[in-house]
Structure formats: C-alpha cells, structure tokens
Amino acid sequence: MDKRATIKDVAEAAGVGVATVSRVLSGGSASPRTRERVLAVAAQLDYRPSALGRNLRQRRTGGMGLLVPDLTDTFHAQLAEGVLACARAAGEPVVLGSTAGDPEQESELIGMLLEQSVDRLIAVPSGDEDTWAPAIRAGMTVVFADRLPARPSSDEDDDPAATAVNDLMLLDGVSSGSRPRPLDAPSVVADDRAGIRTAVRYLRGLGHRRIAFLGGPGHDRRAAAFGAAVGAPVDEELVVFATGSRDSAYAAASGLFQSRPDLSAVVAGGNVLGEAAVLAARELDLRVPRDISLVMYDDVPWAELCSPPLTVIAQPGRDMGYRAAELVLRSGGRRPRGVMLPTELIIRGSCGPHRQ
C-alpha cells in the first residue's frame, strides 16, 4: 500500500537535490548543515535506498552466488553457514543454488546468476573446466571451495586417479606444460592430501594392509593422495567411486565389502560415503572396528553418535566458507592464489588393530 520512499521524496522533503541526498548517504562531500538535515529527513521517512536502482546504475548486483552440489551433505551445509556468516557481516545477499552434482544444472544456474548480474560466485564445482570457463570469461569473480573443477575430459585418459595426479602436480607447480593451465580462480580447500596421508599411516600403524578408498564426485585429489600414501602398486579394485546420490554410495560400499572380503579398513572420502559405509557394513554383519576399520573424511555432529563413534578426518567447513566469502568480496585488485586450511585426524572408536 504505502510504497517506500524514494530518494526523490527525501530530496524534496529536505529541500535539496537528489544528487546531494545520494552523496550524503554514500559518504560523499556535503556541508555539515545539509548532511544533518538530509539524514534527519531520511530517518524520519524511513528511507532505504533501493538496491534495484543502484544495481542497474552500477551494472552489477551486490552480494554473491553460492553453488553447492547438495545441502543435505552436512559438509556443504557447514560451508554454506560460513559463507552466510561472512555475507551477513557485510550486509550482502547470497543467492543459493544446489546442483545435485550435475554439470548441466550447474551450467544453468551459472546462467541464471549471469542474468541476475551476480558477478561474484563461490562454488563447490561439479562440472569440469569447460563448464566453468564461460563464467570466468563473462567476468565473474569465482572462488572455488573444497575442490577444483576437473580437467576437461580428454577422451582417452578419463581414469580418475590419473587425472587427479595431474591436478596434484599442477597445484604444486610441477606442471610440465603440455596441459592448459588451470582456470584463473582462487580456491579455498582443505589439505586433504595430508589428511588422507595421516589417516592411511594411522591405519597402517594398526596393522592394516588391505585398505580401500570409497570416493564420491570431486574426490579425485583424495583418491590420488590415498594411492600415494598406500604405496606403489595400488590394487585398483580397492579404489571405488560412487556418484553423488546416497543410493549410489550405498551400492558402492556394499559392492566393495562383498567383492573384497579380505578388506580390513576403509577410508571414506566424504560424510555421505561414510554414512553409506556404516550402513553397508551393518547390513552385511561386518562389525566396526572388529571386522573392519573405518575412517571418514569430514567431521559431522553425528559421527560421535555412531557406535562406535567414528574416527574422522576433520576439515573446517565453516571456516572454509567464511574464507571463501572473504576472498570473493575483497576481490579488489589482486587476488591471492588460494587458501589451504589444515585437516585433523580425530581418533574416536571406529578403527582397531588388524586381526587376521
């Protein structure tokens, strides 16, 4: 009914021009007298500048986009909470999208954000670099969180492990140059290599030799780190990938347990995979940690609820989100190359000594 006051209303009521009001409100120069009057009138009229007008004029929307594969994955929820906390502190809106791990939906959402002139984006990417190139080319400031887009599928070498090794080398700056450079976007990731390595060493210290890795989409780095930590001849059957869904994760875990009864320990690459592993183990009457030891990547509240409580590799999900938001907001001028946060092995009760 009573539509909001515009800058024009304020200007008239204060007996000044709109330009002056705009200047006062955005910190420009004005005489103390004028400033005071304008502020008083604005407050009295409960004037709030419309983001619409400003955005159109400045040809960009404030705030940021956030794209995650699945909010019911607790890690993504933690990440999102971190992003929201930072955005709230800055008074900026966050436009959220969930991609279900599908590059096509991801592309569509990028398009939607482009249409909204949202030019800052935080993403846990599902698509590969080809999916992301358009966004960056369109001038978006993109910060990747948790993982980087995969290299474009170059037909013959779509072996995840091999691709991951490539990523790893490139990240370390050891790239020998035949592949194109990664996209020019900073990232906030956890040091999952170290986390996985620590976990594998821990398991080996307990006597485990047949250790499997249960991964999901985007866990290539972790799989590669697993391979490196386990040692040279990796039994390929022991590295299993699921697609994003819980069903697929369960099927992968169950299949792994059934096909490899010699298995004595599993590293799950994420909390959804860990969940599936616990479920599948119970279904097959495998006792944790008596029959099988389990380490899960991601610390989530329910990890403590399992019996026994799950030993996990914790990564600071909330912090990662917060840092990513900081990065994408302070994109003035130079962008730092990226941030890597530490992981921590939290030993609870899901790993025991190897028994033959």
Partner DNA sequence: CTTGTCCATGGAAACGATTCCATCATGCTT
Partner DNA sequence: AAGCATGATGGAATCGTTTCCATGGACAAG
CA distance 210 to 235: 9
Nearest to 296 by CA among 218, 207, 192, 221: 192
Cα separation values, 260 from 55, 241, 273, 282, Å: 58, 15, 17, 16
Asked if 3 touches DNA (CB under 7 A), the answer is yes
- 177 exposure class (CB count in 10 Å sphere: 0-12, 13-18, 19+): exposed
262: helix, strand or coil: coil
Asked if 112 touches its own copies (CB under 8 A), the answer is yes
Asked if 54 touches DNA (CB under 7 A), the answer is yes
**Residue in this structure with the two tokens 């791990």, named with its chain if needed:** 101
Instruction: Supply the DSSP symbol for 320.
Output: H
**Smallest distance, DNA to C-beta of residue 112, A:** 14
- CA angle, 126 then 116 then 25, to 5°: 125
Residue 354 binds which one of its own copies, DNA, none, with CB within 5 to 8 A depending on kind?
none
Q: Which of 17, 28, 53, 261 binds its own copies (CB under 8 A)?
A: 53
DSSP helix, strand, coil percent of the chain (3-state; round to 5): 45, 15, 40
Region from 43-51, 177-185, 312-320, 325-333 binding DNA, contact rule CB under 7 A: 43-51
Region from 3-11, 77-85, 288-296, 332-340 binding DNA, contact rule CB under 7 A: 3-11
Q: Which of 108, 158, 159, 247 binds its own copies (CB under 8 A)?
A: 108
Cα separation values, 285 from 65, 195, 257, Å: 44, 29, 11
H-helix or E-strand spanning residue 250: helix 246-259
Asked if 74 touches its own copies (CB under 8 A), the answer is yes
**Smallest distance, its own copies to C-beta of residue 134, A:** 10
Q: Which of 27, 177, 301, 333 binds its own copies (CB under 8 A)?
A: 301
Residue whose CB is less far from its own copies, 80 or 256: 80
Region from 18-26, 156-164, 171-179, 304-312 binding DNA, contact rule CB under 7 A: 18-26
User: Do 272 and 246 meet the contact criterion of CB atoms below 8 Å apart?
Assistant: yes
Residue 20 binds which one of DNA, its own copies, none, with CB within 5 to 8 A depending on kind?
DNA
Identify residues 58-87 at the interface with DNA (CB under 7 A): 58-59
Asked if 7 touches DNA (CB under 7 A), the answer is yes
Asked if 53 touches DNA (CB under 7 A), the answer is yes
Asked if 338 touches DNA (CB under 7 A), the answer is no
**Smallest distance, DNA to C-beta of residue 37, A:** 9
Asked if 36 touches DNA (CB under 7 A), the answer is no
What backbone phi and psi angles, to 5 degrees, belong to 144? -90, 145
Q: Following DSSP, what letter does each residue of 183-239 receive, concatenated?
A: PS--EEEE-HHHHHHHHHHHHHHTT---EEEEE-TT-HHHHHHHHHHH-SS--GGGE
Burial readout 129-141 (b: 16 or more C-beta within 10 A, e: otherwise): bebbeebeeeebb
Q: Which of 26, 72, 176, 356 binds DNA (CB under 7 A)?
A: 26
Burial readout 198-220 (b: 16 or more C-beta within 10 A, e: otherwise): bbbebbbeeebeebbbbbbbbbb
Q: Which of 25, 114, 168, 169 binds its own copies (CB under 8 A)?
A: 114
Residue 108 binds which one of its own copies, DNA, none, with CB within 5 to 8 A depending on kind?
its own copies
Region from 80-88, 211-219, 234-242, 329-337 binding its own copies, contact rule CB under 8 A: 80-88
294: helix, strand or coil: strand
Q: Following DSSP, what letter does each residue of 64-84 receive, concatenated?
A: EEEEES-TTSHHHHHHHHHHH
Residue whose CB is less far from DNA, 21 or 122: 21
- Judged by the rule CB under 7 A, the positions of this chain that interact with DNA are 3, 6-8, 15-20, 22-23, 25-26, 29-31, 33-35, 47-50, 52-54, 56-59
**Residues in the site for its own copies, rule: CB under 8 A?**
1, 4, 48-53, 55-56, 59, 61, 63, 66, 70-72, 74, 77-78, 80-81, 84-85, 88, 91, 93-98, 105, 108-109, 111-117, 137-139, 246, 275, 278-279, 282, 301-302, 304-307
